């Protein structure tokens, strides 16, 4: 059995998909961590009665904000950290502490299109294959060992909205499935 936290800064559609997928699981979503108190992910957590931890980067350094994660993780005995649209870069120190226990999802076939607006950039570049990547996190931006990738072929008639919808549908199905396997088997060494 694993306890996991989800980190999210925005819309929270992956957070919601994960919450629903693990509702009856022996693996437990113990808290949402966010740097954005007003974001939809926080509103969903509050509505669902999921404990919320807000970390503020305004008051000082990233290290100070990350001290907030450590406190929360101790309190909730967190085994794994699941990033789902978390828009902050984690420090090398934090990443080392949770080596092979922090997982991220990214809406491109990494190493192509790391960073923001990945789907739009891949679409505008005319890529024939688009998709998602689930990976362990290191201290870089969307780097770290790849766990799972899934692609699809873009049909000529597909517009950006359709491509985005397809990418997100894959994310919402694949992320909980892959997480369940990781939680079942424990962190990779």
Which residues make up the interface to ligand GRF (CB under 6 A)? Answer: 8, 10-15, 84-85, 105-107, 171
Nearer to ligand GRF, 67 or 147 (CB): 147
Query: Least distance in Å: CB of 6 to ligand GRF?
Result: 9
Query: Least distance in Å: CB of 108 to ligand GRF?
Result: 8
Catalytic site residues? 106
Nearer to ligand GRF, 63 or 165 (CB): 165
DSSP label of 136: E
Q: What element of type H or E holds 5?
A: strand 3-7
- Residue 52's Cβ-count burial label (10 Å; 0-12, 13-18, 19+) is middle
- CB under 8 A, 24+ apart: contacts of 148-154: 148/174, 148/178, 149/109, 149/110, 150/174, 151/109, 153/128, 153/129, 154/123, 154/127, 154/128, 154/129, 154/130
Residue nearest to ligand GRF (CB): 85
Nearer to ligand GRF, 63 or 129 (CB): 129
């Amino acid at each position: 059995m694993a306890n996991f936290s989800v980190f999210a800064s925005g819309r929270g559609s992956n957070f919601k998909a994960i919450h629903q997928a693990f509702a009856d699981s022996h693996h437990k979503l113990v808290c949402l961590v966010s740097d954005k108190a007003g974001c939809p992910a926080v509103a969903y957590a509050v509505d669902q009665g999921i404990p919320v931890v807000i970390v503020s980067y305004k008051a000082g350094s990233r290290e100070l904000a990350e001290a907030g994660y450590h406190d929360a993780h101790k309190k909730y005995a967190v085994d794994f950290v699941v990033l789902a649209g978390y828009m902050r870069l984690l420090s090398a120190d934090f990443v080392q502490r949770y080596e092979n226990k922090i997982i991220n999802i990214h809406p491109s076939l990494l190493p192509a299109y790391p960073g923001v607006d990945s789907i739009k950039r891949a679409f505008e570049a005319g890529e024939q294959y688009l998709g998602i990547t689930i990976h362990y996190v290191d201290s870089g931006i969307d780097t770290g060992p790849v766990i799972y990738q899934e692609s699809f072929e873009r049909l000529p008639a597909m517009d950006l909205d359709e491509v985005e919808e397809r990418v997100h549908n894959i994310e919402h199905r694949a992320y909980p499935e892959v997480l369940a396997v990781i939680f079942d088997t424990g962190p990779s060494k």
